[in-house]
Amino acid sequence: MTTDIIKKVDNILVVRLGKIGDIITASFVFDVLKKNFPVCTITLITLKSNLDVIKYNRNVDKTVYVNKNILSLFQILKLLHIYFDKIFELNDNPSTTSRMILKLLRGKEKIGFAFDKTNKLLTTSIEQPLKTHSHIIERTAFLLENVGVKFDKDDKRPVLCLGEKEKSDVSSHLNNFMKDAQLLSINISAGVNIRYWKTDYWIELVKLIVSRYSLIKIILLSHPKDKSLRDRLISSFESNLFIIPKYFKFQHYASYIYFSDMLISPDTSAIHIASAFQKPVIGLYPNYEWSFVSWQPYGTPHRSIKSSAENISEIQPREVFNAFLELSKEVNLFKKESKT
């Protein structure tokens, strides 16, 4: 990297809207940009709902949080005085909000995927790899690589930075459990109905697991709105099998996964949180091929199970259990607790 190149890139803007998983799978970009342009300042525009996701990432110098409505214009206007050397528009789908940002903000280079309504606003547009053949992380890296950004071997990965206070809170909660058992996290919540697995299937799966392993503890992760589902699952077993989180902010939720030995979850952000910490993952997916390919666990041992139908409840408990046995053997987990 020459001194001239470093001096030319002072201000970089990254635009990445979307949900929690979108930000976690895009956050490797901040590390890479800092390596390529060590003196640059990185500004991120993302959704307000991602505040706790990006909170502790030291490679982001400034974050502007917006909502997908006209009121976001006032937040974006705060950046009008900055002339950015590079603007990276990383959204994986066309976005009206992103187009507004590209129109309003000044930049020497504006780089993004070649969507029809965005092309004229970009100085460099890159044809997007097929979603049915590429992971979201690979597509994002492809965009940057095509404008000369260099990557090391291990740069392409989900990234999530945890706060020490939240990690300490959860570690203290789990400390006594970790002494005597390995921890399996099960996330039963999902964003949409087609990603909810039947509660009876969760019960059957847990029965299969505890019949084989004697010293396992299950961290039961769920959204508050799914309390009735969680309670039904808990009531089907001895009370000391489950560990119920006592902290509920996002950073605490992620910390529970950080201290787990494995995660089983529908296709949600929990999968990308686990991948960021290189925890083994079993993911349950609807039968959309683009989603199955794009949003699998990345950079960590895993098993991905695709339903034969739109709803993941077509996946059978025995299939998930078999994947659990295979993955446990592969990563040498839960072996000592196996019952004969």
Q: What is the CATH number of the domain that holds 86?
A: 3.40.50.2000
Assigned domain for 180 exists: yes
Indicate whether 40 and 83 sit together in one domain: yes
Indicate whether 79 and 200 sit together in one domain: no
Assigned domain for 72 exists: yes
Assigned domain for 154 exists: no
pLDDT in tens, 69-98: 666 778 899 999 999 999 999 999 999 999
Assigned domain for 200 exists: yes
53-62: b or e for each residue (b if 16 or more CB lie within 10 Å)?
A: bbeebebbee
142 Rama sector, left if φ>0, alpha if ψ -120 to 50, beta otherwise? alpha
Per-residue confidence at 335, pLDDT binned at 50, 70, 90? low
Identify the domain boundary among 98, 116, 145.
Answer: 145
176 Rama sector, left if φ>0, alpha if ψ -120 to 50, beta otherwise? alpha
Indicate whether 139 and 217 sit together in one domain: no
Assigned domain for 156 exists: no
Give the Cα separation of 176 and 163 in Å (integer): 21
Identify the domain boundary among 145, 174, 197.
Answer: 145
Return the higher-pLDDT residue of 338 and 101. 101
Per-residue confidence at 336, pLDDT binned at 50, 70, 90? low
pLDDT value for 72: 72
Cα of first residue to Cα of last residue in the chain, in angstroms, is 58
Indicate whether 221 and 288 sit together in one domain: yes
Range of the domain at 267: 164-337
pLDDT in tens, 181-205: 899 999 999 989 999 999 999 999 9
Indicate whether 170 and 308 sit together in one domain: yes
Indicate whether 105 and 169 sit together in one domain: no
Question: What is the DSSP secondary structure assignment for residue 336, as one 8-state letter?
Answer: G
Give the Cα separation of 207 and 79 in Å (integer): 55
Assigned domain for 151 exists: no
Return the higher-pLDDT residue of 335 and 317. 317
Indicate whether 199 and 294 sit together in one domain: yes
Identify the domain boundary among 92, 115, 145.
Answer: 145
Q: Pairing mode, if any, of strands 83-89 and 62-66?
A: unpaired
pLDDT value for 6: 43
Return the higher-pLDDT residue of 30 and 67. 30
